[in-house]
Amino acid sequence: MKIFNVGSVNADFFYAVPHLPRPGETVAAGSMSRGLGGKGANQSVAIAKAGLPVHHIGAVGADGQWMLDALSGFGVDVSAICQVDGPSGHAIINVSEDGENEIVLMPGSNRAVPLDHIKSSLDDITPDDWLILQNEVNGTRLAAEHAKAAGAKVVYSAAPFDVGAICEMLPFIDVLAVNEGEAKAMYAALGSTKSAELESVSVLKTLGSDGAEFLHQGTAHRVDGRNVQAVDTTAAGDTFLGYFISAYAQGQPIEECLTLANGAAALKVTRPGTADAIPRLSEVLAFIS
């Protein structure tokens, strides 16, 4: 069993600020740092740190070699990440003293992945495999169609939120991942007809400090949040998804999947950063025990 991820690879530029800027306000940053990020890269790193092989499919610019080196160092297979013209994707992330964040995203090469590259990189996907997708790259529908035709399971993170993209993807996905705000916007926008299509899809909803729930075959499974001191909530949802799918794909009970993922996300928010700050499985197991 393998996990494929057609996903974004970003350079994250972090700015520590006393509070998130209000409209028209200039806020002085106390420090600045650079790290590996992007929803796709974060999820791949979480899966790799959870102990499963993950093959990342995507693109970087000529400035992106350091990101490939970082991914590879975390155990992610980067052989299907190609180089394209233009800059790599990057994000400007303001992190306030209470751990909340505000992100401006430049897609760059993440929106320029050649479609034939995506398809050829998925040629050996099988019914035993899983495909992870998000809204930060192009070609998601093509990848989902290709994977479903091969009998693989498809997981789709509906972020950045786009109700049109969700409607387009619904026929091909097995697990839909949303946060609480995205879930409310989704159900309000879909209406009764499209919402009925969700009955055949398992929905993983993260609830921030309140935990998460997994709606599967009409049954809601819930895990409460953990009481930790949040330093940086960036990539918490990606960490949760990566750990949850890693356990779920191996057939572990849903409650155990939720507990593991919840512990991983809670431990992540106690650390500044994105991919670098995602904990390894041994750390998560020690934390939840």
Residues annotated as catalytic (active site), given as ranges: 238
Strands 101-106 and 153-157: unpaired
How would you classify the pairing of strands 31-37 and 153-157? unpaired
The token duo for 168 is 């387009």
CA distances (Å), origin 52, targets 1, 19, 77, 282, 289? 9, 37, 11, 13, 21
For residue 114, whether the previous peptide bond is cis, meaning omega lies within 30 degrees of 0, is no
Q: Where are the beta strands (DSSP E) in the chain?
A: 3-6, 10-16, 31-37, 54-60, 77-83, 89-95, 101-106, 130-133, 153-157, 175-179, 202-206, 212-216, 219-223
Token representation of residue 213: 């729930």
CA distances from 109 to 38, 62, 89, 121 (A): 12, 10, 6, 17
